[in-house]
């Protein structure tokens, strides 16, 4: 339990004690330096069950104060985040090595989302009065009521240590649920700060952070009433299976292999700059990163030249508060190994790195990389890389670009670059992806009114965003009351 922290139990020594006792603390590292920047406890299944029991005790009062009452607390948390932004960014940088400018995005995203849902929850959760389906049914007043799941479990990954938890915790709290958050064991410190903020404003005890790895996450799934998970497709599938066994609902935001299509009529400067940003922001560790690029033949050489020039200009390193770098290190050695494998496998099959191409530095850095001469037999074009790589493939025309973009088990998001907006929209509607941005990257994420979520292996369940992003944390109740 991160806030408040529980004392860890030391196992009794004896004949049955395993040679390697289970870790009771997880050390958190700055991946650029390897330095230990903090630690958190490993919460047991027992601790998780206790935490859920405690949340269940406090949730009815939280539901009863209504959306207006909850708004007060959510806006207080927003103030707290705005007042503590620099400290939050420091903590976040220490556990990720992100550049300062990127680290400031998480608190700002959380503050924005708090404002959005705090102010709209009352409207989004208002009773619906559906029209009766027949004259006979008119003798009853029909109402659909939205009642929250008592305890929502939120399990998050490491790429945005504050924004990812905020994305799910905020709408669940706004809906009237109590929330148990288990952040990634790689970057738990920012989530612990969020819980500290909730305690410091004196809010009701309906938000708890517990820490640990897969076993603690599994205990969350075994105790809560709804699971909201963001992370890898493999772990998502495990969680879905566990939820099915308990017959509890879940929503999964999973991996992606997001394509960018550059058509011959595009503004190539804009496309090259946008795709460099879309592929390399946060060292490519974004679920909606540009992961592969298809360029129409007539502009291929020009695009690749401009893209490579942009990528060569990027500054990689440990930024601190200097605003002097564009990329930090990858989250950990496991992530660095995946990126290295994808690049090496591609090169072994005939691909060429026009810039970058290898791991670098003392920490887990990987050079920003542009790969050409790639095809769909290579893992860099089919598996999620989650690193600073941009594999680029030449295509004959729009139809081939669409076919290749759709040749994936994933369907998270995509981008289309064209000088003709109507054409961009037409192509977008042919792509199998939960979001398509024309001539831009990430726009859908910062427009909270839109549904955000993937198709296919990229996710399942009701999406973040808009009224549904709040109502998904509620059970619907049908009420009939006589008119006479
Ligand atoms: P990554 O984000 O590194 O790709 P995962 O998708 O496995 O890794 O992890 C995302 C989150 O899911 C983390 O908080 C992790 O601790 C948690 N987790 C991992 N395995 C399980 C599991 N079996 N049940 C519940 N949570 C899990």
Helix axes 214-223, 233-246, angle to 10 degrees: 30
Residue 253 catalytic?
Answer: yes
Residue 214 CA to ligand 1 center (angstroms) comes to 6
pLDDT in tens, 275-293: 999 999 999 999 999 999 9
Helix axes 163-175, 189-200, angle to 10 degrees: 40
Nearest-atom number in ligand 1 for the CA of 242 is: 24
Residue 43 CA to ligand 1 center (angstroms) comes to 15
Residue 214 in contact with residue 180, Cβ under 8 Å?
A: no
Among 42, 158, 216, 217, which residue has the most ligand 1 atoms within 8 Å of its CB, making it the best to mutate? 217
Residue 157 CA to ligand 1 center (angstroms) comes to 7
Tell me 19's DSSP state. Answer: S
Residue 287 catalytic?
Answer: yes
Nearest-atom number in ligand 1 for the CA of 159 is: 2
* 284-297 CB burial, b ≥16 within 10 A, e <16: bbbbbbbbbbbbbe
| pLDDT at 7 > cutoff 70 | no
Among 191, 222, 231, 243, which residue has the most ligand 1 atoms within 8 Å of its CB, making it the best to mutate? 231
pLDDT-based confidence at residue 94 (cuts at 50, 70, 90): very high
Tokens of 199: 């305690």
pLDDT in tens, 370-419: 999 999 999 999 999 999 999 999 999 999 999 999 999 999 999 999 99
pTM of full prediction above 0.90: yes
User: Cis peptide before 236, with omega less than 30 degrees from 0?
Assistant: no
pLDDT-based confidence at residue 136 (cuts at 50, 70, 90): confident
User: What ipTM is given for this predicted complex?
Assistant: 0.98
């Amino acid at each position: 339990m991160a806030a408040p922290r529980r004392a860890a139990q030391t196992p009794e020594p004896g004949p049955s004690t395993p040679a390697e006792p289970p870790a009771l603390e997880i050390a958190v590292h700055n991946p650029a330096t390897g330095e230990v920047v903090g630690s958190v406890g490993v919460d047991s299944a027992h601790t998780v069950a206790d935490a859920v029991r405690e949340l269940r005790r406090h949730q009815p009062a939280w539901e009863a104060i209504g959306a207006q009452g909850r708004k007060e607390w959510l806006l207080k948390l927003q103030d707290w985040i705005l007042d503590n932004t620099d400290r939050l960014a420091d903590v976040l940088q220490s556990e990720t090595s992100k550049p300062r400018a990127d680290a400031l995005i998480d608190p700002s995203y959380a503050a924005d989302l708090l404002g959005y849902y705090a102010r709209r929850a009352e409207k989004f959760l208002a009773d619906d009065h559906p029209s009766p389906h027949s004259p006979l049914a008119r003798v009853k007043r029909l109402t659909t009521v939205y009642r929250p799941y008592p305890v929502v479990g939120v399990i998050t990954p490491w790429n945005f240590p504050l924004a990812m938890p905020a994305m799910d915790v905020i709408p669940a709290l706004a809906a009237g649920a109590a929330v148990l958050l288990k952040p990634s064991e790689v970057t738990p410190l920012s989530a612990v700060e969020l819980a500290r903020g909730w305690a410091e404003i004196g809010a009701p005890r309906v938000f708890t952070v517990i820490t640990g790895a897969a076993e603690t996450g599994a205990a969350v799934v075994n105790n809560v009433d709804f699971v909201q998970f963001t992370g890898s497709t493999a772990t998502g599938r495990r969680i879905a299976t566990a939820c099915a066994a308990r017959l509890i609902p879940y929503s999964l935001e999973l991996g992606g292999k997001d394509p960018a299509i550059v058509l011959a009529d595009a503004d190539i400067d804009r496309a090259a700059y946008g795709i460099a940003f879309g592929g390399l922001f946060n060292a490519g560790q974004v679920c909606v990163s540009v992961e592969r690029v298809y360029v129409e033949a007539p502009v291929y050489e020009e695009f690749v030249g401009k893209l490579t020039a942009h990528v060569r200009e990027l500054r990689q390193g440990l930024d601190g508060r200097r605003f002097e770098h564009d990329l930090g290190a990858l989250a950990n050695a496991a992530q660095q190994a995946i990126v290295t494998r994808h690049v090496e496998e591609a090169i072994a099959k005939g691909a060429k790195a026009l810039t970058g191409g290898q791991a670098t530095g003392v920490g887990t850095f990987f050079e920003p990389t542009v790969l050409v001469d790639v095809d769909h037999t290579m893992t860099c074009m089919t598996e999620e890389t989650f690193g600073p790589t941009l594999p680029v493939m030449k295509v004959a025309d729009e139809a081939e670009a669409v076919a290749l973009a759709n040749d994936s088990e994933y369907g998270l998001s995509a981008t289309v670059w064209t000088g003709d907006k109507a054409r961009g929209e037409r192509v977008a509607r042919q792509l199998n992806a939960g979001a398509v941005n024309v001539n831009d990257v990430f726009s859908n994420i910062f427009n909270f009114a839109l549904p955000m979520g993937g198709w296919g292996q990229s996710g399942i369940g009701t999406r973040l965003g808009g009224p549904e992003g709040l109502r998904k944390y509620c059970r619907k109740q049908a009420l009939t009351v006589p008119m006479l």
